[in-house]
Structure formats: C-alpha cells, structure tokens
Amino acid sequence: MTALDHPYALSPSTARQQLFSEGIGFPGYPYLSALSLRGEYRNIVETIAREAVRGWGHFKGGGASASAGRRVAELEAAFRSFGICALMANMVRMDGYFGIGHLWVDVAPAKGGSKARSSSVFSIPDGEELATPLTLDRAKLPQGSLRGFRAIEPLWCSPGACEMENPLSPWYYRPQYWIVQNCAVHASRLLQFISRPLPDSLKPAYNFGGLPLTMMAKPYVDNYLRTRQSVSDLVHSFSTMVLKTDMAQLGNGLRNKGGNLRQRARLFTALRDNMGLMMLDSAEELKNVTTPLVGLDKLQAQSQEHIASICGIPLVKLTGITPSGLNASSDGELRVFYDTMAALRETLLTPAIEQISHMVMLHLWGEIDPTIAFEWEPLYALNRLERQTAEKVRAETASVRVKSGLTTPQQEQRLWPELATGLGERSRQSPFGLQDQEEFNQEHPDQEQSDQEKTDQEKTDQEEG
C-alpha cells in the first residue's frame, strides 16, 4: 500500500491547498501580484523599499585633485539621470512581492555589429548580442553606449540553460541566460536581486528566485484578518435584548407569519429605542445580555504585532502606532531596524551599485576608476538636542588634545568631517576658529613652523608630480 492509499492520506489537491495556506508552496506570480492589492502586504513591502534607499548615498575617493572631484560630480549626476535610486527601491519592492527582481542593462548596439530590432518605444540589440556576456570593458561598453536601466518583473522572465550536474561549477543552479518574452538575455545583462535565497532543491519550483516576503507574512496576515473580523462581529452584536414571556401561550405563532409570537416580536423590535418607551405585560420581563469586550483590543494588537515580527519592522514604522505605557519608547527598536536595513543595503544593493557604477564609468570616461566607491548615508540621525550635546563633547575632547600637544588644530579640523559622519550627518564645520588657531600658534611657534614646512613640501611634491 502506497502513502496515497492510506486512509488518512491527503489528496494532492488538499495537500497543495494546505501548502499554499501555510505559505510554503509557490502560488505563482499572478497570485503574488494580487496580494500586493491588500494593504497589509503593501505596507510591509513599501516600508522596507522606502527605508532601504532613504537618504541614499554619495561617491567618495578619487584623490584630492580637482579632476577627481569633477569625476565624482559627473558620476553622481549620471546616477541621478539614470534614476538609480528609484530603480533600487523598485528592486527591493519586487524582491518583497515576488522574491526576485530583474534589472536590464540597456546598451546601444555596436556600430557595424548585429542589427537592432525596432520597438514601438526604442530599439534593442539583436538576440544574438543579448545572449552574449556583458563584460566590463571598452569592447562591450564603449564610451557613450549606455542608454539606461529598466526594471523587469519576474512574470516576464523564465530561466534558460542551467548547470545541474556539477556542484563545483560557478553556474550550478544559476541560469546562464533568461528568456524574456521569447528573447534570450545573458544573466550579466539582466541583474538579479534576491535577498532571501532558497536551497538548490527548491530553486526550480520558485523560478530560480527567492522567497517572497508576502509569502512569509501570509499566515500571520490571515490570522490578523480573521481576528479583526471576529472582533468586529463581536462589537457589532455585543448587546442582545431578551424578552421573557409566556411561550406556551404564544407558541402557536411560530407556525404562521401572522401568529401571536411573531407579532409580539415585531412589536418589540418596532418599539425598541433608547429614547422611547417599551411596554410589557405584568408577566413579562425585559433583560439585556452583553458580551464582555475586555481584552479584545489586546488580542487584535497581538495578532498585528506578529505581522511586524515576521517582517522585522517596528510597529511604529509599520502602523504608526506608538508604544503605550509609562516611559514607553521605540528608540531601541528603531535602531535595530536601521541596522537591519543597513545589512539589507550591503547584501542586496551594494554589489549591484558597484557593478552599475563601473558601467557608468565606462560610459562616461571609457575606463573604470577603482578609487571611487559608493558610501551609504546613515539611516539613524540624532535630534537637535542630541546632536548639540555630542558636538559639545567632541569639541571639548578635541580642545583637551590640542592643549596637551597631542594634536594640532589643523589635524582636528581635518578629523572633524570624518567624526561627524558617525552622527548621521556630514558637518564641515570645525570647533577651531581663526582666533583659536592664532592662540595656538602663539603658544607653539615651533609646531606652527613645522606645519608650514609640511604644507610647503606637499605643494612641492604635487607640482613635481
């Protein structure tokens, strides 16, 4: 006897329904798209997508020359022109809804190469070119050839060839190319964003994507919706009026619509009003039975907290509900959430941004500048009072170091912007003004002379270079 012949075995259809209800089986992209219409799922995904790119970031490096600063400015302007920030938010959004996001790199066809296919909006390279790897060199990405980037939903992408025999292969259970509406596109031209990868055995069933956040939250959202509806039904009918009367005398009224019992119930309903008068027989008794509503708010709030726990979002961020109680604060929860978002940035977005920045460098200058790197702005920022207190402590500490001769005002002035980044800001002001500098020079003339000699030597080295 097989497992399916067992009297307690589930039928295949029932097993699939149970898997989907538990949020384990993959229901398909159309169903996941429909889940985005419900506010509970949308609020989860949109909150993470919004917080992941909030504040964005900046490029740094390139040296101290004027050309390096100009390159950084050009690179940041190109990122704004291509809308990279909005695209990264869209990738986080797709990862939450579908488990994977695709970003297509639109490169103009090479001159003298394969012909381009015309479209109603733009032309795309021929299928033979799209199926080839997009290497980061001048041959594949000549200067001025990058036309932009485009987000592609996974509904329109199917995995192509995939290595499934040799686990030592770098393409093991990784599609080498994707079929986008009957067009083969190499994986290097279609960047994938997956924050919750699956085991290799489950990847084919999930279209080689990750686990959607909506599927993880589905059992908890279903419990919350059921609890919310139950609480609403109890509130709607928490009070019931009971009329004690002679049922034996009026019992025959149940057999026909015009009976005495039905007439008595109809009269009772018509005259029931808090501002009116209710007339009863001397043998009748009126009683109000109410359902206790104590604790319903806690049950509903607890089911809502379960949703916040599975997605890792503080309740104040997810719903806007502040914690109640004496000295209640969600500052610690927000700090933990910002740490989680910082980790999501580094694992999901930073590798793609680095790859995109190299493509943009080849597009702008025809070469990759390895000294320029992208840096995220911190999510957590101190309020005005905390920032002033921190700046005061830093200024006092710097003053002690200068007066003791450990550092110079110039060194503290150079360190000030770097220390300011730890407070969620990029302050360019130094606690040492011109008057402090003059006083220090008067007290330490030897140090002033040595600093001037260092400055002159640096200028000489730059001129010789």
| Predicted pLDDT at 190 | 95
| Predicted pLDDT at 235 | 86
Task: State the pLDDT confidence band at 346, using cuts at 50, 70 and 90.
Answer: very high
Task: State the pLDDT confidence band at 320, using cuts at 50, 70 and 90.
Answer: confident
* Nearest one of 407, 396, 418, 400 to 451, comparing CA atoms: 407
Same domain assignment for residues 39 and 147: yes
Domain count, the chain: 3
Helix, strand, or coil here: 111? coil
- Tracing tokens 């170091």 back to the chain, one arrives at 401
Residue 114 lies in a domain: yes
What are the structure tokens assigned to 33, written together?
């798209």
Q: Which of 65-79, 155-169, 213-227, 442-456 is predicted with the least confidence, judged by mean pLDDT?
A: 442-456
User: Are 148 and 94 in contact, with CB atoms under 8 Å apart?
Assistant: no
Residue 6 lies in a domain: no
Same domain assignment for residues 175 and 290: no
| Predicted pLDDT at 133 | 93
At a CB cut-off of 8 Å and minimum separation 6, what does 316 contact?
Answer: 322, 323, 330, 333, 334
Domain that holds residue 121: 23-217+313-380
Same domain assignment for residues 116 and 177: yes
Q: Which of 22-26, 34-38, 81-85, 203-207 is predicted with the least confidence, judged by mean pLDDT?
A: 22-26
338 or 329, which is more confident? Answer: 338
User: Are 20 and 214 in contact, with CB atoms under 8 Å apart?
Assistant: no
Same domain assignment for residues 76 and 185: yes
Same domain assignment for residues 70 and 212: yes
> End of a domain among 380, 410, 427?
380
Residue 14 lies in a domain: no
Same domain assignment for residues 185 and 42: yes
> End of a domain among 361, 380, 399?
380
User: Are 96 and 213 in contact, with CB atoms under 8 Å apart?
Assistant: yes
Residue 123 lies in a domain: yes
User: Is the predicted pLDDT of residue 8 greater than 60, yes or no?
Assistant: no
User: Are 130 and 189 in contact, with CB atoms under 8 Å apart?
Assistant: yes
Helix axis angle for 39-52 and 296-311, nearest 10°, is 40
Buried-state track 71-105, b at ≥16 Cβ within 10 A, e below 16: bbeebbebbeebebeebbbbbbbbbbbbbbbbbbb
Task: State the pLDDT confidence band at 141, using cuts at 50, 70 and 90.
Answer: very high
Task: State the pLDDT confidence band at 423, using cuts at 50, 70 and 90.
Answer: low
For the purposes of burial, counting CB atoms within 10 Å of the CB of 37, is it exposed (0-12), middle (13-18) or buried (19 or more)? Answer: exposed
| Predicted pLDDT at 273 | 66
User: Are 152 and 100 in contact, with CB atoms under 8 Å apart?
Assistant: no
What's the mean per-residue pLDDT of the chain? 80
Task: State the pLDDT confidence band at 462, using cuts at 50, 70 and 90.
Answer: low
| Predicted pLDDT at 361 | 96
Task: State the pLDDT confidence band at 195, using cuts at 50, 70 and 90.
Answer: very high
Residue 8 lies in a domain: no
> End of a domain among 357, 380, 403?
380
Same domain assignment for residues 199 and 270: no
Same domain assignment for residues 87 and 193: yes
Same domain assignment for residues 163 and 196: yes
Residue-wise pLDDT tens digits, 100-128: 999 999 998 766 555 555 444 455 556 67
Task: State the pLDDT confidence band at 388, using cuts at 50, 70 and 90.
Answer: confident
Residue 9 lies in a domain: no
Same domain assignment for residues 31 and 153: yes
